[in-house]
């Protein structure tokens, strides 16, 4: 009566394992430098399942992984920005968390989207996914700034500034293997918020 017990119920597990492995590798090396073999090896899932779960191959896998990692990070941003103390303080905490993660990973885990964006700017599906993910992060930041009393237009501009500064700081920090750029950006953003407390 029961379903065939010998049947591996790894359907879900394999899919997740592929996505996790892809997410990590895209974040560290980008798209072109990441091979399917590497993904399969790191995932531990059977090679034969890859094209069952992702018939679109490497690209479909990458899009799904970007979306997934993007959503996770969006959640993190939302959680950190909703803590009490005002947007400026929340932002400082966010930057510190990112810096800590970067350092802990040996300066390998920067932004999971930026690398792929730059390297695959000519690949429309990838680019569109990156655009979508970035916009969810911006929305989160805008919401926090609006909640702090900032006008919509100012909040939008400020959110872009904040995200850009963080992305750029991650680039510089990885190039230097040093979190100092993260701290510099944190402090300068603080100064900016003090100058115009609520645009």
Partner DNA sequence: ACTCACGGGACCTCCCGTTTCT
Partner DNA sequence: AGAAACGGGAGGTCCCGTGAGT
- Return the range that interacts with DNA (CB under 7 A); candidates 54-62, 108-116, 117-125, 157-165: 54-62
CA–CA gap between residue 18 and residue 41 (Å, rounded): 10
Tell me which DSSP letter residue 49 carries: G
Length of the chain: 199
Min dist. Cβ of residue 176 to a copy of itself (A): 5
Report the alpha-carbon distance of residue 8 to residue 179 in Å, rounded.
45
Closest listed residue to residue 94, CA positions, set 191, 182, 188, 193:
182
One character per residue 13-52, x = contact with DNA (rule: CB under 7 A): xx-------------------xxxxx------xxxxxxxx
Q: Does 175 bind DNA (CB under 7 A)?
A: no
x-marked contacts with a copy of itself along 132-171 as a string, rule CB under 8 A: --x---------------------xxx-xx-xxxxxxx-x
Which residues are at the interface with DNA (CB under 7 A)? 7-14, 34-38, 45-53, 55, 57-59
């Amino acid at each position: 009566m029961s379903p065939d017990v010998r049947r591996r119920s790894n359907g879900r597990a394999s899919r997740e394992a592929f996505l996790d492995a892809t997410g990590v590798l895209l974040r560290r090396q980008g798209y072109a430098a990441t091979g399917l073999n590497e993904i399969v090896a790191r995932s531990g899932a059977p090679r034969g399942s890859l094209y069952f779960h992702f018939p679109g191959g490497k690209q479909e896998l990458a899009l799904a992984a970007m979306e997934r990692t993007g959503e996770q990070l969006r959640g993190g941003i939302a959680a950190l920005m909703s803590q009490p103390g005002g947007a400026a303080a929340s932002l400082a905490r966010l930057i510190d968390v990112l810096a800590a993660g970067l350092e802990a990973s040996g300066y390998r885990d920067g932004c999971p989207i930026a690398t792929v964006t730059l390297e695959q700017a000519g690949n429309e599906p990838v680019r569109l996914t990156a655009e979508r993910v970035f916009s969810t992060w911006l929305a989160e930041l805008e919401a926090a700034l609006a909640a702090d009393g900032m006008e919509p237009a100012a909040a939008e501009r400020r959110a872009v500034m904040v995200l850009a500064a963080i992305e750029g700081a991650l680039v510089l920090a990885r190039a230097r293997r040093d979190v100092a750029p993260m701290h510099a950006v944190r402090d300068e953003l603080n100064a900016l918020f003090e100058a115009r407390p609520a645009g």
